[in-house]
Amino acid sequence: MGFFSKDIKTLDDLFVHTLRDIYYAEKEIKKALPDMIEKATSTELKNGFEMHLRETEGHIDRLEQVFEMHGEKAKAVNCPAIDGILKEANEVAGDIDDKQVLDAALIAAAQAVEHYEMTRYGTLVEWAKQLGRDDCAAVLKKNLDEEKATDKKLTVLAESSVNLAAAE
């Protein structure tokens, strides 16, 4: 379904469409993370990805909760944006032999994913409020906050050790 599809008439329709988009994205991220855990060399990075895999499962659960609260069936729609981000991450990782450089690339890819999620959740929280669904907004905000925290942790890890190791 494209953004200008006639199926989206109201802000509520757009809200539900975007929920389905991020639901798809979260599921794809859940599938991609085990591979990133395997590729990571830094123990801290591996642990960080493992923790975020568990959080991602929680994000999927919360989204299902929001669908239910909003009286909609939990359904995913294709999200070409996350497909592209994950495809690019895979392609770049496949071209890197040096383990430390690969760690730096994995962090960069993961941060692209987190930022995508942050834009979606940021928008969804505001639309939920506008639609009078403060209850949905509160649940979505929990996902948003965890994505932001993950992004920050990745920045700290990159700046404190991984980038330095990659440059050596």
Does 21 contact Fe ion by CB under 5 A?
no
Of 34-42, 68-76, 79-87, 116-124: span binding Fe ion (CB under 5 A)? 116-124
Of 32-40, 51-59, 88-96, 133-141: span binding Fe ion (CB under 5 A)? 51-59
- What string of DSSP letters covers 79-131? -HHHHHHHHHHHHHHHT---HHHHHHHHHHHHHHHHHHHHHHHHHHHHHHHHT
Does 120 contact Fe ion by CB under 5 A?
no
Q: What number of CA atoms fall less than 13 Å from residue 154's CA on the CB side?
A: 25
Does 147 contact Fe ion by CB under 5 A?
yes
Nearest residue by C-beta to Fe ion? 59
CB 52, min distance to Fe ion, A: 6
CB 98, min distance to Fe ion, A: 26
Does 59 contact Fe ion by CB under 5 A?
yes
Of 56-64, 73-81, 93-101, 131-139: span binding Fe ion (CB under 5 A)? 56-64
Six-digit token string for 81? 């944006």
Q: Return the DSSP state at 42.
A: S
Contact 66, 8 (CB under 8 A): no
CB 56, min distance to Fe ion, A: 5
CB 129, min distance to Fe ion, A: 20
Burial of 3 (0-12, 13-18, 19+ CB in 10 A): exposed
Close Cβ partners of 38 (under 8 Å, ≥ 6 residues apart): none
Task: Select 100 or 103, whichever has its Cβ closest to Fe ion.
Answer: 103
Residues that bind Fe ion (CB under 5 A): 56, 59, 117, 147
